């Protein structure tokens, strides 16, 4: 039978095409980005352990500052002048805290998602992680949200709801779920002009919210890459004993709305949790608990260093405890300390170095930490850095 005699053979996919068009329309209206097709299979199991790549780049907290985020990717040569992935098989780990303190949080989420897809096609990898600010926002704790941050989510909600209305015009699609379902119209002790932005933010980021489900469920909470373990705050032996894969899957399930209700699992809450711990990131090296760090590292076979963000390092990226803890949050966001972007690079053949945008190091762009140096990253003043020119 020809397609003319059986038009349903042609038309049966039209509702899905319309839905995809509407989603693309909403994405571009919110972010100014056309996302390439996602090469990853749906509901892919979250990977926790990765082989050591030829080149690994670690990027600290971004906190809603898109310009500084781009600059961090640029100094490592990861993107071209059009913000396209240009680093082939390089692997990137961004250690969390994209949210809060800035007004371009959604734009960064879209920016990172675009790079994930482009890197995957080129044989590279971009891993994003949960920081304490992702956990706080999913729980509805908006203490560090800015006015522009509320406005950005309100704009998203307006476009998202318009997209849902467009989908209801197609009889072949299920009725979209109301993102505001169950969210109050007002909040005690909150200014009335913030109500709409707060409602939009709750709708987007609560467990099973559209933004949480689309972007944050892809985040690792802990990741082992070669001989490095990445976490936002820090890992204790008790976390490792509980199970790294188990932690990743449970946090992902909570964000997906499958378990746990409003609040995150206990190992993501409190001062000794994975995303809040500061035992290894205090700026003064003598305050760091090197014994606890060495105990934790000894329980992960083959791992010799822990890389973390969370605590701003005014002196720039540095290491303590014989460089077994490397701290990479330089407070680059204008909502933090407006620090100069820096990233950590680990090459299989030449070890660890720091790439910085600090102009002080342009006079000696080839200085870097010698592999056999006894002083270590944390004890050198200034810290040796290599500048990408």
Active site residues: 133
Residues 6+ apart with CB under 8 A from 193: none
What's phi and psi for 70, nearest 5 deg? -60, -40
Question: How many CB atoms within 10 Å of residue 33?
Answer: 14
With tokens 């980021």, the residue in question is: 205
Rounded distance between C-alpha atoms, residue 179 and residue 209, angstroms = 7
Three-state SS for 49? strand
With tokens 């290599």, the residue in question is: 386
Cα three-residue angle 198-202-208, rounded to 5 degrees? 170
Residues 36 and 84: beta-carbon distance below 8 Å: no
Residues 6+ apart with CB under 8 A from 182: none
Rounded distance between C-alpha atoms, residue 51 and residue 54, angstroms = 10
What's phi and psi for 66, nearest 5 deg? -70, -40
* Helices 14-31/147-168 angle, 10° precision: 160
Residue 208's region, left for phi above 0, alpha for psi from -120 to 50, else beta, is left
Strands 55-59 and 342-347: antiparallel
- Helix (H) / strand (E) containing 351: strand 351-356
What's phi and psi for 305, nearest 5 deg? -150, 155
Name which of 345, 269, 341 is nearest 307 in CA terms.
Answer: 345
User: Dihedral, CA atoms, 259, 263, 264, 266, nearest 10 degrees?
Assistant: -110
């Amino acid at each position: 039978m020809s397609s003319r005699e059986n038009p349903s053979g042609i038309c049966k996919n039209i509702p899905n095409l319309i839905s995809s068009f509407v989603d693309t329309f909403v994405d571009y209206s919110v972010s100014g980005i056309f996302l390439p097709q996602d090469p990853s299979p749906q509901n892919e199991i979250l990977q926790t352990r990765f082989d050591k790549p030829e080149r690994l780049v670690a990027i600290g907290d971004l906190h809603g500052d898109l310009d500084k985020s781009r600059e961090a990717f640029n100094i490592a040569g990861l993107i071209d002048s059009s913000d396209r992935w240009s680093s082939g098989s390089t692997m990137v780990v961004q250690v969390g805290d994209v949210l809060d303190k800035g007004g371009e949080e959604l734009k960064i989420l879209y920016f990172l998602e675009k790079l994930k897809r482009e890197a995957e096609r080129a044989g590279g990898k971009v891993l994003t992680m949960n920081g304490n600010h992702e956990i706080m926002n999913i729980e509805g704790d908006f203490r560090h949200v800015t006015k522009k941050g509320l406005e950005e989510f309100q704009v998203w909600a307006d476009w998202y709801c318009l997209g849902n209305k467009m989908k209801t015009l197609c009889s072949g699609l299920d009725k979209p779920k109301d993102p505001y379902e169950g969210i109050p119209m007002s909040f005690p002790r909150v200014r009335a002009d913030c109500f709409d932005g707060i409602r939009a933010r709750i709708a987007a980021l609560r467990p099973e919210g559209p933004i949480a489900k689309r972007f944050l469920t892809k985040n690792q909470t802990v990741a082992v890459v070669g001989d490095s373990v990445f976490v936002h705050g820090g890992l204790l032996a008790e976390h490792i004993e509980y199970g790294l894969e188990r932690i990743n899957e449970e946090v992902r399930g909570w964000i997906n709305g499958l378990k746990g209700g409003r609040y995150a699992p206990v190992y993501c809450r409190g001062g000794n949790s994975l995303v809040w711990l500061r035992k290894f990131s205090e700026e003064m090296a003598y305050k760091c608990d090197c014994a606890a760090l060495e105990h934790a590292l000894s329980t992960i076979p083959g791992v010799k260093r822990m890389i973390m963000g969370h605590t701003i390092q005014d002196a720039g990226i540095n290491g303590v405890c014989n460089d077994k803890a490397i701290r990479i949050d330089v407070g680059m966001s204008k909502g933090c300390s407006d620090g100069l972007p820096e990233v950590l690079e680990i090459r299989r053949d030449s070890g660890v170095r720091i790439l910085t945008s600090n102009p002080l190091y342009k006079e000696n762009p080839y200085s870097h930490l010698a592999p056999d140096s006894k002083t270590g990253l944390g004890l050198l003043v200034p810290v040796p850095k290599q500048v990408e020119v």
